[in-house]
Amino acid sequence: MANPIAVLAYSGGLDTTVILHWLKTNGWDVATYTADLGQPGADLEAAVEKAKTLGVVDAYIDDLREELVDEFFLPVLQAHARYENRYLLGTSIARIPTARGQMRYAKRIGGNVLVHGSTGKGNDQVRFETVYRVLQEDPEYTLDGFGIYAPWKEPEFLARFGDGGRRVMAAYSQEHRIPLPSGGTDEGPPYSQDANVLHISSEGRALEKPEDDHRQVLFSYLQRWDRTPDTPQRVRIHFHKGKPVGVELMDEDRNGLGQGVEVRPHESILPVVEYLNAVGGKHGCGLLDMVESRYVGLKSRGVYESPAHAILLAAHEDLESLVHDHRVLHDKAKRALDVAEAVYQGRWFTQEMQSWLGVNAIEQERVTGWSEVRLFKGHILPVARSSPHSLYSESMVSFDTASDQYDPAKSRGFIDIQAVEQQAQMRQKRTL
């Protein structure tokens, strides 16, 4: 009987390279799965070649960029989901298609055991393993001899690498003549990074003291604020049924500045995201430094770069203020916290998430038009908006004109009625 094939989620970095060598040394047949998520500067082909030199049975790069932004990011954007009302979920979103793609690949090659390099202290272990277990129930993804191997929770692996972490791994790599990736030793950046087309997160090591600032972080998407342009620019973002389909770049006088970007309603929004990463990054937009609550109960500090996401969120929220009524906006604001928590915890395939996605699709039917935002020194400010489905009526709201549809004299009765309950409570208060 053939050995089971372990399918390793493989980035080519220090951790997953050492895990690959460890598995091979301990008698596993290993295939590597590398997700192309639009990581800036990543040489995925080099990672695959390194895996081949270490004796894998197969190595595969899966382009998930469009899958990530269109199937997962877009509805999260439209839901206005922010974890703890701040974090834009760039890593959380990306883990769902990655884990799913890993299972899809494993089934194709006859893989059995799914392996990831997430630590036992983080959120990613929850996301990866939840998706594995849920999709194992779906015949499209079901693996024969299904298993999960998480090295950072295995006693033998922890005994070898648990005390010292990356320092011990770097020494192990040198001992076994494994090529070290950039930053694989303590001479590299004093923090770890996770990157995709939506964001870059920096955390750990030098950033583990929340009382220290983040000046040691070398930004990839963003210019530092003191190197950003001294004049603002505007972007006008066009939406079709909630989907960003075009961007115009303008100066403060609304003069066009070069070529923008446009996609058709049925096409991927990837070019829009990439364009806004470049424009927003130039102005230092989309930076967040926060302490968040991990799902496993620990607090962690992260520094996030999310220029395109931050700009699109500001524009989408602004346009929705024009086309949705108060109750929809009120309910949506409450729901956004629940959606964010579900994404953060890897609960994408739940009944509640499917219900929220259904409501979201209905709401987006009227979100057509544009929103114009100003970018300057890290700030994103909506300044103008328009929609053919606008609920705004200049003739009704203006202080300078009368309207047959709105009689101000009738507001007296409206105020009298809405005050009745509070008046009764005040009378009650006098008796207490």
- The residues that are catalytic are 15, 95, 124, 192
User: What is the C-alpha separation between 155 and 161, in angstroms, rounded?
Assistant: 10
- Dihedral sign, Cα of residue 241, residue 244, residue 246, residue 250: positive
For residue 297, give the DSSP letter.
Answer: S
- Dihedral sign, Cα of residue 182, residue 188, residue 189, residue 193: positive
How many other C-beta atoms can be found within 10 angstroms of the C-beta atom of residue 319? Answer: 28
HSE, CB side, 13 Å, CA atoms: give it for residue 407. 5
Name the residue with tokens 């930053």: 183
Picking from 280, 279, 283, 273, the residue whose alpha carbon sits closest to that of residue 259 is: 279
User: What is the C-alpha separation between 216 and 301, in angstroms, rounded?
Assistant: 14
Structure tokens at 209: 């003291």
CB-based contacts of 55, cutoff 8 Å, min separation 6 = 24, 30
User: What is the C-alpha separation between 306 and 286, in angstroms, rounded?
Assistant: 5
